[in-house]
Amino acid sequence: MLMIRTILIALMTTLAITPALATDAIERRLAEVVPTVSPDSIEPSGIPGVYEVRFGTDILYVSEDGRYLLQGSLIDLDTRENLTDKSLRSVRAEIFEGIPDDELTVYVPEGEVRHVINVFTDPNCPFCRQMHEDMQAYLDAGVKVRYLMYPVLGRESPTIMRDIWCADSRTDAMDRAKAGRSVPSADCPTPSERHLALGQELGISGTPATISDGGQLISGFRPAVEVIQALEAE
């Protein structure tokens, strides 16, 4: 009896799909389906036998044998946690950590920086202007605000954004534009195309769109007090 149990255990160990074998199987199958793109990561998900596969900011779930693929949010019903969004937050945080301040228009608190938000903005967007009116509230709360170029509202938006980014003081120029005043014309290289491409990759469909330093995405306008509460809860 002991011999039989030993043999069964050995067989089960042999037949089990290890993480390395699962990764190889998934990579081979995905290479057949999308040969031009390789996944950025393949990691075990919260479901036994299912792996989380990431292509940039796109997350898919694939069975360990590479046969089945699921797309959508994975929810842990015990904790009510969105595991897909948790992974995406980590990806977003890493992306924005790699963007230097000198590429952006940045407002820095006088005291301790407790949080950082990255905001896709357009000076022609009325809700962006409304958010900008709360700037002092953010700074008083120790929130560093970093604006990215996202000129998608109005034919003149790209020109206004260029003038802001090429001004001697970007924050002064941004203040003028957000108040509806003209900004002196200027010309220089800008990161407009990179920021637009990043916004599209992240699925940004409108402005303002705010991403915290923890990778939390807040779409649309929300009062500063609500945003700050969300930051504190991270």
Residue 6 is predicted with a pLDDT of 39
Express each pLDDT in 171-196 by its tens digit.
999 999 999 999 999 999 999 999 99
Distance CA 189, CA 210 (A): 24
**Domain spanning 17-79, CATH class:** alpha beta
Q: What is the pTM of this model?
A: 0.82
Q: Which two tokens stand for residue 160?
A: 């206004």
The yes-or-no verdict on residue 1 having pLDDT over 70 is: no
Residue 150 is predicted with a pLDDT of 95
- Across the range 106-120, mean pLDDT stands at 97
The yes-or-no verdict on residue 2 having pLDDT over 50 is: no
Q: 3-state SS of 22-74?
A: HHHHHHHHHHHHCCCCCCCEEEECCCCCEEEEEECCEEEEEECCCCCEEECCC
The yes-or-no verdict on residue 168 having pLDDT over 60 is: yes
Distances (CA, A) of 197 to 17, 112, 150, 177: 39, 32, 9, 23
Distance CA 207, CA 200 (A): 12
Residue 25 is predicted with a pLDDT of 83
**Higher per-residue pLDDT: 139 or 71:** 139
Question: pLDDT category, 17, cuts 50, 70, 90?
Answer: low
- Across the range 112-118, mean pLDDT stands at 97
The yes-or-no verdict on residue 74 having pLDDT over 60 is: yes
Express each pLDDT in 34-48 by its tens digit.
888 889 999 999 889
Question: pLDDT category, 84, cuts 50, 70, 90?
Answer: very high
Express each pLDDT in 129-157 by its tens digit.
999 999 999 999 999 999 999 998 888 99
The yes-or-no verdict on residue 92 having pLDDT over 60 is: yes
CATH 3.40.630.10: does it fit domain 105-232?
A: no
DSSP SS3 for 107: strand
Express each pLDDT in 209-222 by its tens digit.
999 999 999 999 99
Share of residues in the chain with pLDDT > 70 (%)? 93
Express each pLDDT in 56-65 by its tens digit.
889 999 998 8
Distance CA 74, CA 52 (A): 10
Residue 143 is predicted with a pLDDT of 98
Kindly list the domain boundaries of the chain, sorted by start residue. 17-79, 105-232
